[in-house]
Amino acid sequence: MSAGIHEGRNREVLICLILAVATVAAYAPEFLPWPGNDFVDYDDDIYITDNSHILGGMTGPNLAWAFTSFHGANWFPLTRLSWMLDVEMFGPDAWGFHLTSLVLHLLTALVLYFALLRMTGANLCSAAVAGIFALHPLHVESVAWASYRRDVLSGFWFAMVLLFYQRHASAQRDSSTRGWTRWRPFGVLIVCFVLGLMAKPTLVTLPFVLLLLDVWPLQRIQFLRGANPLGTNAARLAFLEKVPLLLISVLASVLTFVAQQSWGAVQSLDQIPVGMRLANALVSVGDYLLDVFWPVGLAVFYPHPGAKLETWPVVVSGLAILGFTAFSWARIRRNPYFAVGWLWFLGTLVPVLGVIQVGAQARADRYMYLPLIGLSIAIVWAIREFVVDRGIPRVLVLSICIIVMLALGTVTFRQVMIWRDTETLFQHALRVTDDNHVAHINLGEAFVESGRYADAMAHLVTALRIAPHAAFAHAALGRLHIELGRPRDAEVHFRRALARRPDSVVWRAGLGQSLYALGRYEESAFAYEEAVNLDPEASQIRVNWSLALAKMGRVTEAIEQSERAVDLDPELPHAQSTLGIQLIEVGQVSPARKYLERSLELDPQQPFAAAHLGRLLAERREFGEAIRRLRFSASRMPDNPGVRVWLGEVFEAAGQSKDAVSVYKEALELAIDANSLELADEIRSRLENHQPTGSTVPADV
């Protein structure tokens, strides 16, 4: 008997090793060639790369923020903590985030294997379900997208719940188990459930899944002919013990809805009516089924068809769903695994089918992370029964399984490469979908970031042709026009974007920036103030607000906002330099020097900060360091005559008249080219007199 146990353990270890090697091989493109896939500017920027709380690591304030914030229209504190831990362990580079997600995905597959094995005793079937889970291309989105750590993390706790639920069911059947020992697995199960909800709230359907497992394979609820399914104590207990889990699910659902409403993520009924939502939900189920068996053409975003959805796919999908459901129910006594697997698939899809529409997508690959398990159970155990009934050789079955897993792994390998970066991801989406305005918007934003303005304009104009009221397209065009030096056009697009989503902090700040560039400082300050009211911790926006206030002559208020920005984010160089420059204006030289020096420690490549520090050092007669700072500033701003005037003043004060004359001549040429006639006259006077006149520094400096 011990030999049999030893052989069984060896088989389990071998299966785990095969799963691990196959999964790592399938996801190898995430890291090869090194450093592998980058972050994508689609949620990754909101949640991670532009989020100072995450990049700041596991500090006290950041931990508090993780539990109290609805940032990004979500509440998933455990996921945020995992990102912070990644920063602590690996730094802010993408490979560390991808590694953690891959490890969690693999662990989930292994725990799922053991949970099913303990429940059913079917080793190869359990391994097959775990293999499909680990290698199916539909799961690439959840694993390769750093923002969707919440899928793999909640999936891990989901699998842990299954494992402990099997132990709980065994403890309930064992009459010798008494007291706390009898309920200890259930207590651990509740903890795992809560942790899973704190990673992603879509685990609210888990009590429903546990009830299905009570039917099969645990058989606590039995559908015997002519018998009441609740006719036994075990069955009644199976229902009653789900009550606390259901209450937890309700609480998580309410919290999630509040979070999504707070960011305007929930689409109103006038945007997508109920009829369209239900029709799309039916078609989406059919599309998911097709993707399971033929996973090609997968994309990061599938546009919602809206009124374009034809009737025939709705009817076909609806009839297929009714047919499979009726068949599974009719066979629940003879083939309970099929009903359990099918209803698992449908039930766990319910929160993400778009009846309560969040976002503009029709469906998403990531939504299949847990539903695929149920469908896999139905398929694998149906094949098992078919094989046993017909006596098909075991070797042939194993060979087919290996071929299927190799095929899934190969497609996954290729799908992972699509997540290389933002451009690769959305160019692929355009190839495999039609009228994908979201892909055009994200490519436009990526091209603005990389300075490919013509390409950005083409994609953003196309996005607006497809979806004329797309707020994100207008906002991206606003940013593009800022980069092109067209603040008036930028204002128009930011206002159109804000008309659709008035609570956007970033877009309101963009409006403030365009108004600032137009010289409408009072309106700019008001826009920045509104943005700060929406997000009081937006330190960079406070800096911009302070600049607008300073332009209005409200220097004291400007300094207050700069000080607040420094308090919020001491690692923000622009906040430090802005505060230092403003303190110089009110004569607070000592603290000004401290802030400017700190700013340049954080980011040495700041020409304005270096110029102001250089002039401040010259007043302290530290001419050597002052000249070094101003020379650096002049080299970084070759078209700015004002910096060279400052440098000439320092040379004169240091007694280096020859160098002063040389720099003044350069400044004069630049002033003439810039049509700065007053400054040109002042420089000529300096050249004639060969001595400083104490002129005022140009405002741009």
Residue-wise pLDDT for 98-124, tens only, equals 999 999 999 999 999 999 999 999 999
Least trusted range by pLDDT, from 274-283, 467-476, 512-521, 557-566: 274-283
Residues of the chain with pLDDT > 70, as a percent, come to 94
DSSP label of 356? S
Nearest to 631 by CA among 653, 616, 650: 650
Q: What pLDDT, on the 0 to 100 scale, is given for residue 698?
A: 39
Helix (H, G, I), strand (E, B) or coil at 46: helix
Give the model's confidence band at 3: pLDDT under 50 very low, under 70 low, under 90 confident, else very high.
low
Ordered by start, the domain boundaries in the chain are: 2-263+288-418, 626-701
In whole angstroms, what is the distance from residue 381 CA to residue 562 CA?
64
Helix (H, G, I), strand (E, B) or coil at 692: coil
In whole angstroms, what is the distance from residue 292 CA to residue 518 CA?
54
CATH T-level fold of 626-701: 1.25.40
Q: Does position 128 have pLDDT exceeding 60, yes or no?
A: yes
Cα torsion angle, 560, 565, 567, 572, sign:
negative
Which amino acid, residue 56? G
Cα torsion angle, 259, 244, 63, 91, sign:
negative
Query: Between the ranges 343-357, 466-480, 654-668, where is the mean pLDDT highest?
Result: 466-480
DSSP label of 58? S
In whole angstroms, what is the distance from residue 383 CA to residue 371 CA?
19
In whole angstroms, what is the distance from residue 294 CA to residue 698 CA?
65
Range 446-474 average pLDDT: 96
Which amino acid, residue 43? D
DSSP string, 145-158: -GGGHHHHHHHHHH
Least trusted range by pLDDT, from 174-178, 519-523, 627-631, 693-697: 693-697
554-586 pLDDT tens trace: 999 999 999 999 999 898 999 999 999 999 989
477-521 pLDDT tens trace: 999 999 999 999 999 999 999 999 998 999 999 999 999 999 999
Q: Does position 692 have pLDDT exceeding 60, yes or no?
A: no
Q: What pLDDT, on the 0 to 100 scale, is given for residue 228?
A: 64
Which amino acid, residue 565? A
Q: What pLDDT, on the 0 to 100 scale, is given for residue 686?
A: 87
Nearest to 474 by CA among 512, 445, 503: 445
Give the model's confidence band at 269: pLDDT under 50 very low, under 70 low, under 90 confident, else very high.
very low
Least trusted range by pLDDT, from 18-32, 315-329, 504-518, 677-691: 677-691
In whole angstroms, what is the distance from residue 542 CA to residue 558 CA?
9
Q: Does position 696 have pLDDT exceeding 50, yes or no?
A: no
Q: Does position 695 have pLDDT exceeding 50, yes or no?
A: no
201-253 pLDDT tens trace: 989 999 999 999 999 999 998 876 656 666 577 788 889 999 999 999 999 98
Give the model's confidence band at 265: pLDDT under 50 very low, under 70 low, under 90 confident, else very high.
low
